[in-house]
Structure 1
């Protein structure tokens, strides 16, 4: 079993306030976030959707690599992006789509096997399972020769 921790400190009102995100490992240490980095053009801070996207991409990439290894095939490079869409719903917001894009170099694997492995990794990575309430999670997978 593994349990990881993150924490947030927030000061001020919702729209004008500012938060700081920290992780147990120190990868994020009082990293700023707030309304402008979530809904505006502030590029100095992060936001929850960006962090969810990074976590999902990281988890899916590892799941794909582990699945390939289990199948006896070594991955050379695996690159994943996750685009997380936050949409207005009633008086609030909802994450209604996550689009995963995978590009991988996997010598010795044909495209059909690659697509199956990628789809299985998407379905079975812990973050995909945790995000099952998101109405649409797509995957575009490209095998690089």
Structure 2
């Protein structure tokens, strides 16, 4: 399985402009620039795309890991905050902080956190990132049961 994205850039770093497109068409000629990455201008940037990829990959991996153990989440909501820091003459993405809000019936907090930490370590995007990854869990056991039998 291969996934493809294309980036085009015109001009110099500070005043140039680019466009990002994905093979699926979800992003099509989506603008990005120095000011969308390092300033407050509206538009995409590589760092938020990495954050979106990490949040979505982890959440899918967690859903799958829970299902393997017989649990079905009522709700999994993950945000990822990717930190970019100046290093030497350039910049580096140094960490990704996952923040998870979860409602899962019929599972204790310890079991849930164990499954969540395993999903954090083993989702494909986590494996691809060479940086510090943390997970902050806001867990609530649901009052009703929608999960499969264990």
TM-score of the aligned structures, taking structure 2 as reference length? 0.92
Match of 1:137 among 104, 121, 133: 133
Separation in structure 2 between the aligned mates of residue 62 and residue 3 of structure 1, nearest angstrom = 18
Provide structure 2 residue ranges, at least 5 long, that are not aligned to the other structure: 142-150
Separation in structure 2 between the aligned mates of residue 115 and residue 142 of structure 1, nearest angstrom = 10
Separation in structure 1 between the aligned mates of residue 107 and residue 41 of structure 2, nearest angstrom = 42
Number of paired residues? Answer: 141
Match of 1:61 among 38, 42, 59: 59
Match of 1:104 among 98, 102, 105: 102
Separation in structure 2 between the aligned mates of residue 21 and residue 116 of structure 1, nearest angstrom = 37
* Cα RMSD (Å): 0.7
Provide structure 1 residue ranges, at least 5 long, that are not aligned to the other structure: none
1:3 matched residue in structure 2:
2
Match of 2:80 among 68, 71, 82: 82
1:72 matched residue in structure 2:
70
TM-score of the aligned structures, taking structure 1 as reference length? 0.95
SS in 2 for 1:72: coil
Separation in structure 2 between the aligned mates of residue 82 and residue 26 of structure 1, nearest angstrom = 23
1:35 matched residue in structure 2:
34
Could you give the per-residue CA deviations for residues 101-125 of structure 1, whole angstroms, max 9, x where no partner exists? 0111111111001110110000100
